[in-house]
Amino acid sequence: MHPFTYTRVDDVEAASAAVTTDAVSRAVQGPDDTVFIAGGTTQLDLMRDGVWSPGTLVDVSRLPLADVELDEDTLVVGAAVTMADLARHEAVADLDVLRDSLLLAASPQLRSMATVGGNVLQRTRCRYFRDPEVTQCNKRRPGSGCAAIEGTARTHAVLGVDAGCIAVHASDLAVALVTLDARVRLHGPDGGRTIPVADLHVRADVDPARDNVLAAGELVTHLEIPVPDARTGYLKVRDRASYEFALTSAAVVARVEDGILAHVAVGLGGVGSVPWRATRAEEVLRGQRASLALFEQAAAAELADAFTVPGTDFKPELARRTLVRQLRDVTEVTA
Amino acid sequence: MSRHSLHVTVNGEAHAVEVDTRRSLLDLLREDLALTGTQKGCDQGACGACTVHVDGRRVLSCLTLAAQAEGREVTTVEGIGTADELHPVQQAFLDCDAFQCGACTAGQVMSAVALLEEDDWSTRDDVRELMSGNLCRCGAYPRIVDAVLSVRATQEA
């Protein structure tokens, strides 16, 4: 691991002032970069592997951002709240899609370390990104190519990708958040702004070297999560029963009135270079009479343009089935 | 090389140490404080052998910077029982034959102790899920679950 300086800050202003490069938005950081650290569960691993080598770490884990509040119909969650604490909070007891996206992720130990702010900013698990001896990686070395295309790609993405990079965004929580129309509050040197979680990440087919749109010094301070008047659910399909990333997952928010899908929002995990909001599927579903045939039509529309390589050719079908099953389970429509 | 001074309480004893900023909490415990009960398995957050409690929560000491433990109360396997007076979870692991080689056991025990403080579970499947962050290459899982359930049964009796 490269040497680095460690400092801890006690207020948000000091945190923003400490970071003067746009390091956070890039997939990798170097000795000239200062970055935030909170739970550290992704960062320490990447630093030990030699993928990340920031010169300075600014510890934001003790900022006063650890509260969960219900403001009318919106949950306001401090970025330093751990996954475990949010999952256990009474405010999410009936918000299945959010709670299950947390409880089906990682392990109990990791959930009691990792913060929700860090979770949405986590780096890809692509094994070629995480191995600095691999020379081809457009995330680490723009223009060098993508080793995953002809490599072991079972866990890689098929949406929002092209031959330049097929890295998946592995967060379950972020999939639930984009489906719930959640927003992130950011604090930067020039003040604050609030943007949809759906606008936070950068697709690999747009720029693999840039993971998000954060500007220099911008810190995620809160998540704003609207609580929908609808049934919700999160289904995760993976290679082992627990403590594993998604091969595919589906987040569904739906309200059926007289057989009609009066409200519907859909997200997919394990398949996108960003937390994937399935807008094409929603267009097929919205305002229509709920049926299995409709669900299948919607799922097919979402995956129609999937980009696959030999390692991921099973994924569009698995994603379609995952989505149909979760639409069926949340709406309780069985025919 | 960047150094960092910190204060940390381990098993009730206050320590003031200066470490390389790269020091993990795991290496602080094992190398600087000679508390070698906590094991280094994968050193990348996958196996759970390094599980300790920080302010009562089970965490992976390999993925925690020592510097981030400033002011915290850390509990390791050395802090929960003694050879003469084992923690009930340690006794249950013996009684249930819940280990073979023992490499994962300190982490399993610390994870189980924390789990038994939580109240949002009840079934055998819950224990399997909530102990999933601790791998056992000998495959003692069924007996580890037995051990956890036996302690819970005693707590409830």
The pLDDT of residue B120: 84
pLDDT of residue B60 exceeding 80, the answer is yes
How far is residue A264's CA from residue A287's CA, in Å, rounded to a whole number? Answer: 9
The answer to whether residues A323 and A295 touch, using CB atoms and an 8 Å cutoff, is yes
ipTM surpassing 0.90, yes or no? yes
The pLDDT of residue B156: 87
β A231-237/A260-269 pair status:
unpaired
What Å distances lie between residue A275 and A115, A201, B115, CA to CA?
Answer: 17, 8, 31
For residue B70, the chain A residue with the least C-alpha distance is: A8
The pLDDT of residue B119: 80
CATH class of B3-79: alpha beta
pLDDT of residue B1 exceeding 70, the answer is no
Structure tokens of A295? 């669900």
Q: Do domains B3-79 and B88-156 have the same CATH topology?
A: no
Neighbouring-strand partners of residue A58: A7, A36
Contact flag B132-A57 (C-beta cutoff 8 Å): no
Domain residues of chain A, as ranges?
Answer: 231-331
- DSSP letter at B86 equals -
For residue A8, the chain B residue with the least C-alpha distance is: B68
**CATH of segment(s) B88-156:** 1.10.150.120
Structure tokens of A150? 């002809």
Q: Which residues of B touch A49 (CB under 8 A)?
A: 44
Structure tokens of A177? 């958040």
β B73-75/B51-54 pair status:
antiparallel
Domain residues of chain B, as ranges?
Answer: 3-79, 88-156
The answer to whether residues B3 and B19 touch, using CB atoms and an 8 Å cutoff, is yes
The pLDDT of residue A175: 98
Q: Which residue is listed with tokens 């051990």?
A: B147
**CATH of segment(s) A231-331:** 3.30.390.50
| Among candidates B2, B45, B120 on the partner chain, residue whose Cβ is nearest the Cβ of A41 | B45
For residue B130, the chain A residue with the least C-alpha distance is: A108
Q: Which residue is listed with tokens 């034959």?
A: B97
**Residue to test with chain B: of A44, A102, A110, A122, most B Cβ within 10 A:** A44
For residue A59, the chain B residue with the least C-alpha distance is: B68
Question: Over the Cα atoms of chain B, what is R_g?
Answer: 16
Query: A143 CB contacts (<8 Å, ≥6 apart)?
Result: none
Total-model pTM = 0.97
The answer to whether residues A138 and A165 touch, using CB atoms and an 8 Å cutoff, is yes
How far is residue A328's CA from residue A335's CA, in Å, rounded to a whole number? Answer: 9
Asked if B2 reaches chain A (Cβ–Cβ under 8 Å), the answer is: yes
Residue A293, H or E segment: helix A292-303
Backbone angles phi, psi at B109, to 5 degrees: -65, -45
What Å distances lie between residue A85 and A114, A180, A326, A333, CA to CA?
Answer: 10, 19, 26, 33
Residues of chain A predicted below pLDDT 70: none
The pLDDT of residue A19: 86
pLDDT of residue B48 exceeding 70, the answer is yes
Contacts of range A278-282, beta carbons closer than 8 Å, 24 or more positions apart: A278/A302, A278/A323, A280/A304, A281/A323
CA A158 to chain centre: 15
Asked if B53 reaches chain A (Cβ–Cβ under 8 Å), the answer is: no
The pLDDT of residue A325: 98
Give Dmax (Cα) for chain B.
Answer: 55
What Å distances lie between residue B94 and A65, A142, B113, CA to CA?
Answer: 43, 54, 15
Contact flag A106-B70 (C-beta cutoff 8 Å): no
The pLDDT of residue A29: 87
Residue A117's region, left for phi above 0, alpha for psi from -120 to 50, else beta, is: alpha
Contact flag B60-A5 (C-beta cutoff 8 Å): no
Q: pLDDT (tens digit, 9 = 90+) per residue, A2-13? A: 999 999 999 999
β A5-8/A56-59 pair status:
parallel
| Among candidates B1, B63, B111 on the partner chain, residue whose Cβ is nearest the Cβ of A113 | B63
Q: Which residues of B touch A40 (CB under 8 A)?
A: 63-65, 68
Q: Which residue is listed with tokens 């098929």?
A: A158
The pLDDT of residue B157: 84
Sheet of strand A5-8, all strands in order from the earlier edge strand to the far edge = A5-8, A56-59, A34-37
pLDDT of residue B23 exceeding 80, the answer is yes
What percent of chain B has pLDDT above 70?
Answer: 99
The pLDDT of residue A176: 98
Q: Which residues of B touch A41 (CB under 8 A)?
A: 45, 60, 63
Q: What is the DSSP string of B6-53?
A: EEEEETTEEEEEEEETT-BHHHIIIIIS--TTS--SSSSSSS-TTEEE
Q: pLDDT (tens digit, 9 = 90+) per residue, A205-215? A: 999 999 999 99
How far is residue A81's CA from residue A195's CA, in Å, rounded to a whole number? Answer: 19
Contact flag B2-A110 (C-beta cutoff 8 Å): no
